C-alpha cells in the first residue's frame, strides 16, 4: 500500500502522502504501480470529459481536460519534455546537454516540443468519438508511465545525482514484470488487440529513444524519462486514431 501511495505522490499533485512516512524501499517498489496510477489519471480525465461534454462543445471540453491533466500531474513530464528537447537540441557534448537540461528557462526547441505535443494530443482526441476517448485517455497515460519503468530498468542514470536517481536502476525485475502485467491487462481489457498494438508501439518507441539517450549522454535522467512519457502518450493516441 505504501508503494502505491508513493507512486501516486510522485506522479500526481494529490497530497496523499503528507501524513505518511515513506521509506526508500517504498519509493523503489512504487514503479510497480506506475501504469495503474497512469490509468487512474486518465480515468479522471475521462470523468471530467463526460461531465464537461454535457455543457460544452466537444473541442472545448477536450482543451479543458488536457489542462486538467497537466494540473493534476504538475506538468511534470511536460517540463521534462521541454528540458530534453532544449538539451539535445542545443548541446553538442554530454556535459552541454546535461547543463542545458538543468536550466529552468525554456528555449525554442523546448517551446516547439510542448506546442507540437499538446497539439498532437488535441488533434488525435478531437477526431475520436466518446467511446474511443474513454479508452485512449486511460491507455495513453498508463503506457506512458510504463515506458518510464522500462527506461529506469534497462538504462543507467546519466548524472551523479538527481531526483530520478531513486528510481533508475533501482527497479527490480519483479517491479518490471508487475508493471508490464498491469499495463498489458489495462490495454487488453479496454481495447483488446488494439491495446496490445499500442503497447508494442510504446515498447518500440522507448527502445529507439533509450538507445539514443544512451548514445548521447550515457543513460537517462528524470527529464528524458519524462519526455518519453509524453511522446509515448502521443504515439498511443495517434495509434488509437489509426486503429479505429
- Which is higher by pLDDT, 125 or 3? 125
Average pLDDT over residues 89-106: 92
Structural contact between residues 123 and 237, judged by C-beta atoms closer than 8 angstroms: no
Q: Is the pLDDT of residue 41 over 70?
A: yes
Three-state DSSP at 107 gives coil
Asked which of 25-39, 145-159, 171-185 is least confident by mean pLDDT, the reply is: 25-39
**What does the alpha-carbon distance between residue 152 and residue 34 come to, in Å, rounded to a whole number?**
12
Q: Which three cell numbers stand for residue 116?
A: 507540437
Structural contact between residues 49 and 121, judged by C-beta atoms closer than 8 angstroms: no
Average pLDDT over residues 74-95: 95
**What does the alpha-carbon distance between residue 2 and residue 8 come to, in Å, rounded to a whole number?**
10
What residues does each domain of the chain span?
2-243
Task: Provide the CA 13 distance to its chain's centre, in angstroms.
Answer: 15
Residue 104: what pLDDT?
83
Q: What percent of the chain is predicted at pLDDT more than 70?
A: 93
- Cell 487488453: give the residue: 188
Q: Which three cell numbers stand for residue 24?
A: 526508500
Task: Provide the pLDDT confidence category of residue 162 given band limits of 50, 70 and 90.
Answer: low
Asked which of 24-38, 107-121, 158-172 is least confident by mean pLDDT, the reply is: 158-172
CA neighbor of 233 nearest in space, from 140, 146, 147, 148: 140
CA neighbor of 199 nearest in space, from 157, 149, 152, 146: 146
Task: Give me the chain's average pLDDT, please.
Answer: 92
Task: Provide the pLDDT confidence category of residue 196 given band limits of 50, 70 and 90.
Answer: very high
**What does the alpha-carbon distance between residue 82 and residue 94 come to, in Å, rounded to a whole number?**
17
Average pLDDT over residues 232-240: 98
**What does the alpha-carbon distance between residue 205 and residue 129 come to, in Å, rounded to a whole number?**
26
- Provide the whole-model pTM: 0.94
Q: Give buried/exposed letters for 69-84 (b at 16+ CB in 10 A, else e).
A: beebbebbbbbbbbbb
Average pLDDT over residues 61-66: 98
Q: Is the pLDDT of residue 164 over 90?
A: no
Q: What is the dihedral of CA 145, 150, 152, 157, to 10 degrees?
A: -120
Task: Provide the pLDDT confidence category of residue 161 given band limits of 50, 70 and 90.
Answer: confident
Task: Provide the pLDDT confidence category of residue 229 given band limits of 50, 70 and 90.
Answer: very high
Residue 22: what pLDDT?
65
CA neighbor of 221 nearest in space, from 148, 132, 171: 148
Residue 17: what pLDDT?
60
Residue 67: what pLDDT?
97
Amino acid at each position: 500500500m505504501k508503494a502505491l501511495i508513493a507512486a501516486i505522490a510522485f506522479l500526481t499533485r494529490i497530497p496523499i502522502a503528507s501524513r505518511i512516512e515513506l521509506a526508500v524501499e517504498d519509493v523503489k517498489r512504487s514503479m510497480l504501480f506506475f501504469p495503474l496510477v497512469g490509468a487512474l489519471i486518465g480515468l479522471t480525465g475521462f470523468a471530467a470529459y463526460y461531465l464537461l461534454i454535457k455543457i460544452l462543445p466537444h473541442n472545448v471540453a477536450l482543451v479543458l481536460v488536457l489542462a486538467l491533466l497537466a494540473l493534476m500531474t504538475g506538468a511534470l513530464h511536460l517540463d521534462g519534455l521541454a528540458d530534453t528537447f532544449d538539451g539535445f537540441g542545443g548541446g553538442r557534448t554530454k556535459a552541454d546537454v546535461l547543463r542545458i537540461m538543468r536550466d529552468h528557462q525554456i528555449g525554442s526547441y523546448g517551446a516547439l516540443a510542448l506546442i507540437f505535443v499538446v497539439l498532437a494530443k488535441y488533434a488525435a482526441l478531437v477526431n475520436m468519438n466518446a467511446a474511443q476517448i474513454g479508452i485512449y485517455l486511460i491507455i495513453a497515460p498508463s503506457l506512458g508511465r510504463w515506458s518510464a519503468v522500462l527506461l529506469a530498468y534497462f538504462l543507467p542514470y546519466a548524472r551523479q545525482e538527481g531526483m530520478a536517481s531513486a528510481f533508475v536502476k533501482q527497479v527490480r525485475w519483479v517491479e518490471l514484470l508487475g508493471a508490464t502485467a498491469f499495463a498489458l491487462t489495462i490495454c487488453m481489457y479496454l481495447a483488446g488487440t488494439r491495446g496490445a498494438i499500442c503497447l508494442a508501439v510504446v515498447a518500440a518507441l522507448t527502445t529507439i529513444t533509450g538507445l539514443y539517450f544512451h548514445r548521447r549522454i550515457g543513460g537517462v535522467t528524470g527529464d528524458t524519462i519524462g519526455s518519453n512519457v509524453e511522446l509515448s502518450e502521443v504515439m498511443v493516441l495517434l495509434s488509437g486514431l489509426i486503429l479505429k
